[in-house]
Amino acid sequence: MNNIVSIIVPCYNQAQYLDEALQSVLNQTYQNWECIIVNDGSPDDTEEVAKKWLEKDARFQYFYKENGGVSSARNLGISHAIGEFILPLDADDRIGSNYINLGIKEFKRDSALKLVYSKAEYFGDKTGSWNLQPFSISDLARLNMIFCSAIYRKKDWELVGGYDINMIHGIEDWEFWIAILKDGGNVFCLETVEFYYRIKKMSRQKQLEGKKTKIMNEYMSIKHVDFFVKQLGSFMELNEVIDFNKKCSENLKSEKFVIDAFCATFFGFSVFGLYKVKK
């Protein structure tokens, strides 16, 4: 293992917070890292802030791209990463100084480990502990208990084709965790607080509500129907978890992929070519 950790920091309209995020990177007790800042077509002074950090430390890099969303920004950064390990960090959040050091120790201890994350706290407009539910693969089918800044291997990003750029309205990290974990692998949560999540009056997460949430849930449930059916046991329970309405149920019935994945999960064969699916 080269043990280099590539920290990927996408930035869109977050220049005012970027210094704090990058300072938390510079404060790491673990020194074998690089930090790739990706300006996702931001109209603010992200470039000016980023370039100051390039002068401070040669381990910082900077890339600009046209605006395409956080998934495409992370993918661009990771495509340039030389590290074996990846740590995404949103430009308005912070990491604890021992996060990478503790995380790499766990990867060395457990060869089956796919994700390391930690306890977390809020800061900004709200402070205090972020009481995340303990991880289990079955509960991951119901909710996301792992924040976006978990440490994982670049090879796992490659195996699943990166972050899904269709997740344009958010919860792209939840979809990504499902993609890399649904076929197995261990997850470890550090006992110390090593992640700090900024609460703002208006955030991307707060904007993710209503119709946009429903669209992303529906898309994800179809893409990973094999996972959801395996973990939840039935389409009925799946519908309850992601709050499907009648229209969504009709859409699901028309998807050949859903039927095929269901049969592959429970019966071990594909129905494609055996009979025509009525649309």
Positive/negative CA dihedral, 231, 232, 234, 235: negative
Quick check: 259 pLDDT over 90?
Answer: no
Q: b or e along 151-174 (b: 16 or more beta carbons within 10 Å of the residue's beta carbon)?
A: bbbbebbeebebbbbebbbbbbbb
239's tokens: 């519908």
Work out the pLDDT band at 233, boundaries 50, 70, 90: confident
Model pTM above 0.85: no
Check residue 217 and give its pLDDT: 87
pLDDT digits 0-9 by tens, 115-150: 999 999 999 999 999 999 999 999 999 999 999 999
Average pLDDT, stretch 33-42? 98
Average pLDDT, stretch 154-178? 95
> Can you give 128-152 as a three-state secondary structure string?
EEECCCCCCHHHHCCCCCCCCCCEE
Neighbours of 178 (CB within 10 A): 20
65's tokens: 């791209």
